[in-house]
């Protein structure tokens, strides 16, 4: 295996894709650079297929303090649990990659992004998607690539769109839009903006799609160089979970019953009807068949519910609770819900409830951040909690899960532009 490097310039920045020197035992590995910021992306696929009814993909982003020339804080002087930013970056990498794998892929896949250098000018998050895509490609892993992710900013003074703006440029931007996907479609979108128009947002998305296509084209050039030096990439063969026709036909024969169960407007009653129907469907299989086809039965049951729900929405324009596409559930708001706390409110839409509590503190109580990014702290913090009782289930309580961190960041990003400045509101 010979080292291959591909350097290119796009939108005023210098990028590098490099493979063949590090992490040779991984299924695929690639180093990606933007300026001096450097990330090592590794992809490992298990040899054996797992007995799951879902795709077991794990993405981790590892922040190393040496990337910015700092010793980790704390008594042990070693990186421990991932920061909130590391978790958000891992989720960003996951979202465009997950749907690109073939249906029925059950081999375990672990993608690890390790920050090697963070130059404090160029961010390492969006380029990690391109690096992961390149790592999968050189490893011969079957997926619908190449894929890339870009951040689109907009100069608040000139209105010019920027691709992967620097930290300084982001400070003067009224848009922070992340897009991920291939050269022909967008599969991941996340944004924060200072009340820009819908027309401008659509223009930014179109501009971002063009940028993604340009990065995908550079990946193709990199793969061509790799094959020229190291020979054609041999696509690895993996056994996919293929649908079993008999199981599919026997389960989908209950389509009418599933469709009827989903039309119950009451959520609890609807969920119970669906659960009872699934038990009834399972009961038509013998014990031997259930043991032999357990995974296929689980997959087809999910597929039946999903198909019935989709047909209802697409063909009739109605959702499962009887609402049309533009109809919202009844909304109820109760301000000052709790006594003594600084601020509180209960927001309810249908059966979904959110209890929000606000606490004010002095400016010196801001959150100090120990990450590889230039921002050293923040004064507005939004935490989201989703305990298991929210869905009537039992479960583990403890540190927040990735989903909770992601949703908290989403709400924080939405409200941040309307938070008064320190001068106006010194809290």
Strand 343-349 to strand 352-358: parallel, antiparallel, or no bridges (unpaired)? Answer: antiparallel
Asked if 28 and 137 touch (Cβ cutoff 8 Å), the reply is: yes
**pLDDT tens, residue by residue, 188-234:** 999 999 889 999 999 999 999 999 999 999 999 999 999 999 999 98
Is cis: bond before 146, omega within 30 of 0? yes
What mean pLDDT comes out for the span 344-357?
A: 94
Residue 81, pLDDT score: 86
| Closest residue by Cα to residue 408 from 91, 93, 115 | 91
Strand 107-117 to strand 57-62: parallel, antiparallel, or no bridges (unpaired)? Answer: parallel
**3 state SS of 416:** helix
- Return the bridge partners of 58, or none: 110
Residue 52, pLDDT score: 83
Q: Using the Cα atoms of residue 262, residue 263, residue 264 and residue 265 in order, give the sign of their dihedral.
A: positive
| Closest residue by Cα to residue 60 from 39, 76, 75 | 39
Residue 9, pLDDT score: 96
pLDDT of 43 higher than 90: yes
pLDDT of 254 higher than 80: yes
CATH domain 331-418 topology: Ribosomal Protein S5; domain 2 (3.30.230)
Q: Do 4-146+198-230 and 331-418 show the same overall fold?
A: yes
DSSP letter assigned to residue 236: P
Residue 292, pLDDT score: 87
% of the chain residues with pLDDT over 90: 72
% of the chain residues with pLDDT over 70: 100
Give the start-to-end residue ranges of the domains of the chain: 4-146+198-230, 245-316, 331-418
Residue 384, pLDDT score: 95
Distance CA 64, CA 372 (A): 7
| Closest residue by Cα to residue 126 from 107, 149, 109, 108 | 149
Distance CA 27, CA 110 (A): 10
How many CA atoms lie less than 13 Å away from 342 in the CB half-sphere? 6
pLDDT of 77 higher than 90: no
Residue 167, pLDDT score: 94
- Evaluate if pTM is beyond 0.85: yes
Structure tokens at 205: 């998305």
Distance of CA 345 to the CA centre of its chain: 29
What mean pLDDT comes out for the span 251-267?
A: 89
Confidence of residue 264 (pLDDT cuts 50, 70, 90): confident
Structure tokens at 41: 């992306």
Residue with the bigger pLDDT between 295 and 183: it is: 183
Q: What are phi and psi of 92, to 5 degrees?
A: -65, -40
**pLDDT tens, residue by residue, 154-173:** 999 899 999 999 999 999 99
Residue whose tokens read 């050269």: 183
**pLDDT tens, residue by residue, 91-117:** 999 999 999 999 889 999 999 999 999
Q: How many other CB atoms sit within 10 Å of the CB of residue 358?
A: 10
Residue 326, pLDDT score: 85
Helix (H) or strand (E) holding 204: helix 198-230
pLDDT of 66 higher than 90: yes
Residue 113, pLDDT score: 97
Q: What's the mean per-residue pLDDT of the chain?
A: 92
pLDDT of 74 higher than 80: no
Q: Using the Cα atoms of residue 248, residue 250, residue 253 and residue 259 in order, give the sign of their dihedral.
A: negative
Residue whose tokens read 């180093």: 31
Q: What is the CATH number of domain 4-146+198-230?
A: 3.30.230.70
Strand 148-155 to strand 107-117: parallel, antiparallel, or no bridges (unpaired)? Answer: unpaired
């Amino acid at each position: 295996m010979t080292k291959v490097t591909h350097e290119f310039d796009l939108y005023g920045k210098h990028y590098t894709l490099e493979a063949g020197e590090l992490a040779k035992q991984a299924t695929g590995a690639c180093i990606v650079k933007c300026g001096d910021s450097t990330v090592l992306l590794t992809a490992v696929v298990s040899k054996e297929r797992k007995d799951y009814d879902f795709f077991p993909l794990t993405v981790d982003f590892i922040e190393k303090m040496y990337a910015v020339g700092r010793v980790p804080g704390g008594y042990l002087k070693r990186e421990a649990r991932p920061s909130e930013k590391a978790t958000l970056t891992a989720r960003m990498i996951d979202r465009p990659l997950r749907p690109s794998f073939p249906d029925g892929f059950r081999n375990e896949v672990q993608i690890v992004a390790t920050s090697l250098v963070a130059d404090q000018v160029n961010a390492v998050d969006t380029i990690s998607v391109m690096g992961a895509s390149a790592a999968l490609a050189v490893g011969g892993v079957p997926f619908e690539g190449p894929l890339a992710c870009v951040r689109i900013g907009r100069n608040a003074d000139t209105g010019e769109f920027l691709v992967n703006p620097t930290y300084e440029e982001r400070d003067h931007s009224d848009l922070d839009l992340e897009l991920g996907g291939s050269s022909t479609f967008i599969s991941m979108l996340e944004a924060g903006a200072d009340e820009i128009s819908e027309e401008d947002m659509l223009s930014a998305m179109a501009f971002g799609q063009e940028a993604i296509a340009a990065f995908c084209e550079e990946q193709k050039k990199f793969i061509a160089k790799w094959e020229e030096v190291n020979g054609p990439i041999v696509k690895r063969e993996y056994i996919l979970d293929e649908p079993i026709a008999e199981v599919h036909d026997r389960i989908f024969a209950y389509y009418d019953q599933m469709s009827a169960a989903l039309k119950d407007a009451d959520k609890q009653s609807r969920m119970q009807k669906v659960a009872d129907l699934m038990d009834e469907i399972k009961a038509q299989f013998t014990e031997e068949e259930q043991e032999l086809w357990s995974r296929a039965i689980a997959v087809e049951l999910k597929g039946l519910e999903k198909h019935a729900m989709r047909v209802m929405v697409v063909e009739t324009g109605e959702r499962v609770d009887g609402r049309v596409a533009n109809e919202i559930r009844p909304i109820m708001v109760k301000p000052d819900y709790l006594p003594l706390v600084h601020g509180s409110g209960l927001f309810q839409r249908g059966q979904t409830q959110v209890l929000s509590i606000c606490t004010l503190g002095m400016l010196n109580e801001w959150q100090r951040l120990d990450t590889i990014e230039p921002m050293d702290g923040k004064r507005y913090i939004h935490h989201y909690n989703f305990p298991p009782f929210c869905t009537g289930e039992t479960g583990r309580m403890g540190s927040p899960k990735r989903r909770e961190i992601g949703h908290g960041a989403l709400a924080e990003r939405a409200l941040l532009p309307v938070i008064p400045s320190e001068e106006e509101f010194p809290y």
